[in-house]
Structure 1
Amino acid sequence: MKKQSKPKFKSIFVLHVYKYGWSKDKLAYHIDQDELESKGGARPGIDIWDYDVGYFQTLHAAEKRIKKIVGENQEELYSFLIEEKPQECMIRKGDYLTIRRYLKDGSLWQESKVSTIREYDGKNCELGDTCFYGRDLRTIPFKEGDIVEIARKDFMELGIIWDLPATKKRMKRIWSRYIKQLGPDIAWVHPDDSDDGYTVVGYSLGKDGKIGFGHSHPAVVDVLPPSLPVPKKFAQQLRKCLRTLKKEEAVYILEKEREKKNAKSAK
């Protein structure tokens, strides 16, 4: 599919400053006991706050402000996020043209130039390039089994990598399949920002002491290296959950292959 041309409008760059949530204890990953009591379950991690927000005319100006904030040596800093948004039009809350994550030292961690804007000013029309063409291997720093942080809006959760985002080589094959199957519809239905992410396994501890676990697909810009020491008990539990899910997947695949084999034999 031919890449869309760059949008003809001015952008604004929105800088979010994330800080660790307040804690009376030493800053550390933990299971929140209050959440455990009130909600019946809690995940290992730590609260974070979308503390400050700034609006800048250029990416350079926003990055310059990040350096200034880092220079003030604020110990509670967690990370920074810059969203590029179009000016003078209505888009859905949370949509952006590009997005970038910076670590607490101000260094650029990850960026995604896949636009999420599929509707603006009440029209079903895309702004920017909404197509995902795969990632360069150099921009995928993790491997299966790595312990990571998933930065949510108000909580940073510990997880473990199960699968990686698709590379450019893999996406070429996927795009070929999409074009062959969908034809003209490819203009609207195609690999997008939701494909630019990891598969991460996480778990929660129940009030009854039982462990519940599953997987999610956080965006690449929201998956960060551990910023604090990871307690051994959390790491061990995450690895156990990953092993269990991989075994379940292997059994499922085996059953499906057996079903196909039996179906062919029945013909």
Structure 2
Amino acid sequence: SAWRLRDSTAALAAWQILRPAEAQPAAEAATKVAVKSGGQTLLAYGNYVLRFEGYLPEEETVHQLVLSLPRFENASLPALAGFLPKEARALNSERYITGPVSLEKFAPQLPPSVVAFQFDTEGIVGRFTDRDGSVDLVVFSYPNHQIAQKQIAAFQALPGLTAARQGPLIGVVTKAPNPDAAQRVLSQVQYEATVTLNSNAAPPPQQNVGDLILAIVKLIGILIGLATVAGLLFAGIRVATGGGFGNIRPREEAIMSLSLEDEGPKQP
């Protein structure tokens, strides 16, 4: 079976809903987002969710299969899933929130107006096992720190909930046995920004005055040599053609003249 979704985020959300509660990670599958349960393997690949019954194709076979699927897009998975704490998290309890409908289903305690989906807000729900009992945590991701800072006050004003901000993330505990358990789980939400530093470029080499003068002298020598060769070549051509040099006149050619005068008829 195959389901085509809008993008990789929607595919991840659908995969989380479709996977069986007792499913185990399938390390041998073609993607990291894969589980197996009995003879069934369920995996998310790009904007598709694939389910194989009774067998698991080889990795290369799956790659070739998805390339033949219509409108396949292999965008990266949302980074938000990586910010949900892993310690003491219940197996397969994660659910992705992409809008008011999924919010109502997985975190009905939170009103959509407070979550503010107009900012392209996304969230993920997880259940955790604390020493005092079960804790439900939702982590929302906002486009930047400023928007999250404005929204945190609205979350903290909701009765019976515990909320805190970490950078552009807001964590909200919607269910906990006591405030201490809520704080223990909430404190695990950590945001680490990825900063790329450009290495300093090496400074351009400094010009050496001595090398510059030497280069100029070499250039002048080359130009003088070219001028000398051109002059000798020109002189040779002049001599070969009898043109002479400068003001030295060439040898004058002898001219033979005939005196032919028109004499009239002689008188007898």
Give TM class, smaller chain: under 0.3
Task: State the structure with more CA Rg.
Answer: 2
Q: Which has the higher contact order (CA 8 A, sep 6+)?
A: 1
- What TM-score does the superposition give when structure 2 sets the normalisation length? 0.22
Q: Which has the higher strand share?
A: 1
- What TM-score does the superposition give when structure 1 sets the normalisation length? 0.22
